Amino acid sequence: MSPSSDKSRVDHAGGAELFLERAEHLAFHDRRLWELREKRDQQMHGIPEFQELRELASAIKEHTLAKLPEYLEMFERNALANGIHVHWAQDGEEHNRIVLDILRSRNARTVVKSKSMVTEECDMRPWLQARQVEVLETDVGEQIQQFDDEMPSHIVVPAVHKLVRDVAKTFSQAYGTDDGERDVTQLVAAQRRGTRPVILRADAGMTGANFLVAETGAVVVCTNEGNADLSANVPALHIVSTGIEKLVPRAADLAVFIRLLSRSALGSPITQYTTQFRGPRDGGEMHVILVDNGRATRLGMVDFWRSLKCIRCGACMNTCPVYRRSGGLSYGGVYAGPIGAIIQPTFDPDKFSALPFASTLNGSCTNVCPVKIDIHDQLYKWRRIIAEKHYLPFVKREALRMAGRLMARPKLFRAAMKGGNAVLKGLPRFAIYNWLNPWGRHREVPAPPVETFHDWYLRNRKPQTRDRGQPDKGQPDQGDRR
Amino acid sequence: MSAREAILAALKVNRPAGDFPLPDVPSFEEAYREPSKLFPERLALMGGTMAALQPGEDWAGLVRRLYPDVRLVCSTVPEVEGTCRITDFATPQEAQYVELGIVRAAFGVAETGSVCLTEAQLGMNAFPHLCEHLLVLLDPAQVLPNIHSAYRRPEIARARYAVLHSGPSATADIQGVMVRGAQGVRSLTVIYV
Amino acid sequence: MRIGLAIPCFIDAFHPEVGIATLELLERLGQDVTYPLSQTCCGQPMANNGCNGDAAGAEALFVRNFAEFDAVVMPSASCVHHIRAHLDAIPETPAVRHVRDRTYELVEFLHDVLQVDAFPWARFPHRVGLHNGCGALRALRTASMSELGEPFFSKPKALLEKVSGIEFVVPERADECCGFGGTFSVSEDAVSARMGHDKVWRHFQAGASYVVSADSSCMMHQQGCAERAKLKLKFVHIAEILNGRGA
């Protein structure tokens, strides 16, 4: 089911709970992604200039975003001079229309594509399929997700939430392989055998873009399987879908990102294929579609524009202890994990209002981000906006308002503490541990102590301070220095 | 207003305030003292292999030794005569049965074990991806220190298609199991010559 | 130097022994410590949920209580981080600035300000797993962060090393978050508990008899998980060890 058509609020906690019940899937998911984090760390230790590269990458991206219109025009100029057709799309619908127009004008009915998160944003595949265009994802992970009619759950390893047996089942339906197959090599071979003929007879190939180089008018695509290079070079028509923020100014800048991307994503020095498309192939045609889809608006958000630096490495997902235990699908949108939690609310702050709260604000994501996006600070800021716009669940909102009032009045607070503890002491176990008390579902509740610190202090020390519980008469309620 | 105009206008209005200078990018090459010595190590990490002509062995012998079951060999280099030339194929579809492709790389990169292939070396862009195996001739004097060095090369600046090919195709998308040989070449072997 | 002792609400209610140990320790070190009676909370729970307006009353009260002191010491990193980095529901007057600039977490205060080099009264002959809460680690930088590959340093460990008999064990994923996260522990209780269970299990597997931390909130959560799983693991705040508990 396409997520964009479902407007109801995403229940991350509910989705996570379902994921947590599948012990074997959870264990693999958590272990595998932590392993990618560890491999990233190993790469980092092998490059003394790693932190300098991060600083350079961040500065290059901020510079480029601050001059984005100029760099886009430069890219367009140079791409056109290279013989590439350049198109602009304000939103997903416009992007899909442009793709369809290009395909129809060349009588193209079958498309093979490699991974592009932008095309997921645009919900392109179902849109094209409804208009009699056959589209096959060729990337193994994306293809599995296509066959299962699910979004990719991770931007680099789209089917990481699945085990071999799930894939075997999917491929048995798609390719007629044995659903008891547990040899991954055989499944990969089956995918190769099944996909190659489709590539060979496809009318068009679509790819995404990892980077666009303004000074050369080049598109750079970083992949591992070879399907992007096949999809782009076998059919005579190559269409690139890209967000407008993918620009870097110079080839020299590109080097910084190439050195950081795969190290951050998978802990390998580089992807197996780092490809430059700077013009159509002999006998071929190349198009680039520059997609806005909310990016220009996001650029104007003082607290959130830096999320546009993202190079889609997924390192934040790999390190996030919440993401690893909830799975990407629980985020209910194109982008999951920490980056998803700060991007998705720009698409729909109500629908994705739970995402910035699916976090302990631990800050690990910010530390691994190769372009130094202040992810956990943005999560904090999103919470304020969501609270101010009244997207918080009613019960939570009211509880926090009451807590705020209580915390402002020491005498009330003390009374509540006394009352609370007394009640807690007197309750039988079944009353504490039930579905109404989320703390107690998976944990023991702390035993209330004999007395609070406050009471202990009153008994054991001579209180020295004046009562500052109320502002003094005639003084403003803001804590002036005496 | 066209989409182009609307997007550019919005970007201009929403431009972040402040100074964001473009930094100079150092070369970081000092750490790579003997690139041609480091290259085989990094190539192996990426799943590729090095090979060499054995004493008394000719190219045909080497191909027979390394690829005993291969019959359709397409060479784009003068040193090796294959069973066909790339110019024999008018379209990628016609080239789909080639089992072994032999090419010369424009240069190599020590940091990542990469070889650079462009349309100038390939003749047909899809060719190195359709084969089962790739044998790459590489002049050891053309092994560069790192990626920064690679992007300064004129071959990349000139090329319409250029790939830094680092080991054979691979995927670990199914339960994290690494498989060498996904949809592109199953093996990538480099010979210093 | 007059020190104002700020005791987080959850320590006041559930772990008074941590407040007592903090007070006694500072007094043992010859410090002039006062506990303002009308304190409640620093405003963090409301602010962390985006309800900044609802935090204003608590924040104003905090500043009124502590503006008169030369330093404010608090045995909780997340609270201290909130005071230093946020506390912006109220206008920034000189008093507010004063409090924000002079609030310290206990470990930082002992290590950086008092520079304590010995705890002769302290003895803790046990194997301990040191847990650095994410607020202490990444916000207050009391130890090196694994993500950055920086040279190793640890203020809490440097203090604990001066305690006779103590033995450290290091769990796997030593600086992975334990999952407390404030109201996260309730609104995402399933994920939170899973993270907590994983954390305590790793400490147990590393051979810890005790988990020690400067953050009671993390430990409350971990202890709840350990008890539910019937793991033989005990929890103690760093203030208690440094103050001589178990000696």
Q: Who among A68, A140, A232 is closest to B173 (CB)? A: A140
* Ranges A10-24, A427-441, B48-62, C9-23: which has the least confidence: A427-441
What pLDDT, in 10s, does the model give residues C81-123? 999 999 899 999 999 999 999 999 999 999 999 999 999 999 9
Distance from CA of A472 to the nearest CA of B (A): 43
Size of interface A-C (CB pairs under 8 A): 263
Residue C157, pLDDT > 90, answer: yes
d(CA C30, nearest CA chain A) in Å? 16
Residues of A in contact with B130 (CB under 8 A): 230, 234
Q: Rounded to an integer, what distance in angstroms lies between the CA atom of residue B78 and that of residue A444?
A: 76
pLDDT at B78 > cutoff 60: yes
Is the model's pLDDT at A472 over the cut of 80? no
| Contact status of B121 with chain A (Cβ, < 8 Å) | no
Nearest CA to C76 out of C168, C167, C139 is that of C139
What's the gap in Å between the CA of C73 and the closest CA on chain A?
15
pLDDT, one tens digit per residue, over C224-240 is 999 999 999 999 999 99
Q: What is the pLDDT of residues C60-88, one digit of tens each?
A: 999 999 999 999 999 999 999 999 999 89
B183:A191 CB<8 A: yes
Give the one of B129, B162, B172 whose C-beta lies nearest to A226's C-beta.
B129
From residue A402, how far is each of A152, A353, B178 by CA, in Å? 41, 21, 53
- pLDDT digits 0-9 by tens, A100-117: 999 999 999 999 999 999
User: What stretches of A333-448 show up as alpha helix (H) in DSSP?
Assistant: 337-347, 364-368, 375-388, 394-407, 410-426, 429-432, 439-442
Angle CA A56–A58–A63, to nearest 5: 95
Sign (positive or negative) of CA dihedral C221, C224, C228, C232: positive
Distance, in Å, from the CA atom of B75 to the CA atom of B84, rounded to the nearest integer, reads 7
pLDDT category, A430, cuts 50, 70, 90?
low
Name the residue in chain A with its Cα closest to that of B163.
A275
CB A214 within 8 Å of CB A78 = yes
Residue of A nearest to B159 (CA): A278
Would the pLDDT of A467 be above 90? Answer: no
> Which residues of B, range 132-171, sit inside 8 Å of A by Cβ?
146-148, 150-152, 156-157, 159-171
Residue A400's pLDDT band, with cuts at 50, 70 and 90, is confident
Q: Do B129 and A229 touch (CB under 8 A)?
A: yes
Contacts of A405 in chain C (CB under 8 A): 54, 57
pLDDT tens profile B122-168: 999 999 999 999 999 999 999 999 999 999 999 999 999 999 999 99
* Average pLDDT estimate for A41-53: 98
DSSP B189: E
Element (H, E) at B138: strand B133-138
Kindly report the nearest CA distance between residue A341 and chain B, in angstroms: 22
Per residue in A332-345, pLDDT (tens digit) is 999 999 999 999 99
Name which of A73, A164, A281 is nearest B161 (Cβ-Cβ): A281
Burial class (CB in 10 A: 0-12, 13-18, 19+), A418: middle
CA distance to partner chain A, nearest, from residue C209 (Å): 19
Least confident of A15-19, A390-394, A472-476: A472-476
Cα–Cα distances in angstroms (integers) from residue A317 to residues A152, A331, B68, in the given order: 13, 12, 44
- A307: nearest Cα among A214, A221, A245: A245
Asked if A90 contacts B7 with a C-beta cutoff of 8 angstroms, the reply is yes
Q: How far apart are the first and last CA of chain B?
A: 58
Percent residues over pLDDT 90 in chain B: 99
pLDDT of residue A1: 39
DSSP string, chain C: -EEEE---HHHHHH-HHHHHHHHHHHHHTT-EEE--TT----SHHHHHTT-HHHHHHHHHHHHHHHTT-SEEEES-HHHHHHHHH---SS---HHHHHHHHTEEEHHHIIIIIS-----TT-B--SEEEEE--HIIIIIS--B--GGGTPPP-BHHHHHHTTSBT-EEE--TTTTS--S-TTTHHHHTHHHHHHHHHHHHHHHHHHT-SEEEES-HHHHHHHHHHHHHTT---EEEEHHHHHTTTT-
ipTM for the complex shown: 0.98
Shortest Cα distance, chain B CAs vs residue A107, angstroms: 19
Cα end-to-end distance, chain C, whole Å: 29
CB A382 within 8 A of CB A354: no
pLDDT digits (tens, 9 = 90+) for A202-219: 999 999 999 999 999 999
* pLDDT value for A434: 60
Q: Which residues pair with B118 in a beta bridge?
A: B162
What sections of A270-374 are H helices per DSSP?
Answer: 295-299, 315-319, 321-326, 337-347, 364-368
Q: State mean pLDDT over A145-150.
A: 98
What's the Cα-to-Cα distance from C91 to each of A10, A210, A404, C47, C88, rounded to whole Å?
35, 44, 17, 15, 7
Neighbours of chain B (3+ CB pairs under 8 A): A
Taking the CA of residue C64 and the nearest CA in chain A, the distance in Å comes to 4
d(CA A455, CA C27): 19
Q: For residue C84, which residues of chain A lie inside 8 Å, CB to CB?
A: none
Minimum-distance CB partner of C189 among A439, A445, A458:
A439
Chain A residues with CB under 8 Å of C199 CB are none
pLDDT-derived band of residue A421, with 50, 70 and 90 as boundaries? low
Asked if A441 contacts A449 with a C-beta cutoff of 8 angstroms, the reply is no
Cβ neighbours of C83 in A, within 8 Å: none
Q: Which of A253-267, A411-425, B35-49, B72-86 has the lowest mean pLDDT?
A: A411-425
Q: What is the mean pLDDT of chain A?
A: 92
CB atoms inside a 10 Å sphere around CB C205: 12
Q: Assign B11 to helix, strand or coil.
A: helix
* Set of chain C residues whose Cβ sits within 8 Å of the Cβ of A409: 40, 57
The answer to whether residues A276 and B159 touch, using CB atoms and an 8 Å cutoff, is yes
Contact by Cβ (8 Å): B177, A184: yes
List the Cα angle A447/A453/A459 in 5-degree steps.
120
- Which residues on C lie below 8 Å from A403 (Cβ)? 45-46, 54
Within 10 angstroms of residue C27's Cβ, the number of other Cβ atoms is: 14
Is pLDDT of A473 > 60?
no
Q: Is B96 exposed, middle or buried (0-12, 13-18, 19+ CB in 10 A)?
A: middle
For residues A361-390, average pLDDT: 95
Consecutive H or E run containing B50 = strand B49-51
Q: Are B23 and A64 in contact (CB under 8 A)?
A: no
- Per-residue confidence (pLDDT) for residue B138, from 0 to 100: 98
- Nearest Cα residue in chain C from A413: C40
- Summarised one tens digit per residue, pLDDT across range C191-200 is 999 999 999 9
- B45 pLDDT exceeds 80? yes
Confidence of residue C146 (pLDDT cuts 50, 70, 90): very high
Q: Is A407 in contact with C61 (Cβ distance < 8 A)? A: yes
- DSSP character for B84? B
Contact yes or no for C134 and A41 at CB 8 A: no
Q: Is the dihedral of CA A306, A312, A318, A321 positive or negative?
A: positive
Q: How high is the mean pLDDT of chain C?
A: 95
Confidence category of residue A183, pLDDT binned at 50, 70, 90: very high
pLDDT, chain B, mean: 97
Strand order in the sheet with A110-113: A85-89, A285-291, A237-243, A204-207, A110-113, A134-137
What pLDDT was estimated at residue A478?
Answer: 43
Pairing mode, strands C127-131 and C210-213: parallel
Closest to A241 in 3D by CA, of A98, A422, A67? A98
* A441/B137: higher pLDDT: B137
Q: What is the pLDDT of residues A161-178, one digit of tens each?
A: 999 999 999 999 999 999
